[in-house]
Amino acid sequence: MNAVSTIPEQSLLEAIPEKLGVSEPWAQKGGVYWLASDTLNIRDLASVMNASHARFITITAYQMPGDQGLRLEYHWDLDGKVLGFSFPLAANSFESIYDLCEAVDWIEREIHEGFAVDFTGRDYEPLLLRQGDTPGVNLRKPASALSGQEEVKK
């Protein structure tokens, strides 16, 4: 049996914003270390996460009020800490990181099918979710159902 490391090296966590060229520090909220920046690029982020030996957890898609589109939140685990990165989607497409991070395959496919987001730069296999044969019918709400909703901030 092996012992499990419990505390991440703080310097590793602190080095991530610098590697990404982000001046803002981590903000801890809702059980997650958030790094907010308008200049974050998902593919650079995936490369830095790989180099830091962070484990990809999941992507959560949020449908914003009215015609504001969607928001994607990416989560990685770094030795027990959850790291979060939020990306607003003006259009219904976003760069795939499947070629950099194999673990995103199914969740990118699920969001593609549930919310009709097109992750560019990858091929899609047949539907994961059997209900509904058109992307976007399972989880995406019609715009009329979203009118008047306020944005939920992280």
Partner 1 sequence: MGPYHPALEEPYKLDLICEGETVTDAKLHIGFNFRGIEHLAETRNYIQVIALMERVCGICSNIHTLTLCQAMEQLTNQTPPPRAQYIRVVVAELERLHSHVLWAGIAAKLMGFKTMFMTCFEIREKVMDVLQAISGNRVNYSMNRIGGVNRDIDDPLAVLAMIEQLEREMVRTVIPIFTTSSTARSRCAGIGVLTNQKAVSCGIVGPTARASGLPQDLRRAAPYAAYSEMEFDVPVQHDGDVRARLLVRALEIMESCKILRQALTKMPSGDINTGEAKIVFSTGTATSRVEAPRGEVMYSVSWKENSRNPSRVHVRTPTFANMPGVRWMVMGARLADTPLIQASIDPCYSCTDR
Chain positions contacting partner 1, by CB under 8 A:
1-6, 29-32, 55-58, 60-63, 73, 75, 77, 79-82, 84, 101-103, 105-107, 125-131, 138-139, 149-150, 152-154
Least distance to partner 1, CB of residue 128, Å: 5
Q: Which is nearer to partner 1, 103 or 143 (CB)?
A: 103
CB of 55 to partner 1, least distance (A): 6
> Which of 52, 27, 46 has the alpha carbon at shortest distance from 94?
46
Handedness of CA 106, 145, 75, 116 (dihedral sign): positive
Find all residues with CB under 8 Å of 2, minimum gap 6, and list them.
none
DSSP string, 2-14: -----S--HHHHH
Distance of closest approach, residue 25 Cβ to partner 1, in angstroms: 19
Would you say 21 or 132 has its CB closer to partner 1?
132
Yes or no: say if 147 and 66 are a contact pair by the CB < 8 Å rule. Answer: yes
Residue 127 Cβ vs partner 1, minimum distance, rounded to whole Å: 7
Q: Which CB, 2 or 144, lies closer to partner 1?
A: 2
Considering beta carbons, is residue 23 or 150 the nearer one to partner 1?
150
Q: Please, are residues 54 and 45 in contact by the beta-carbon 8 Å criterion?
A: no
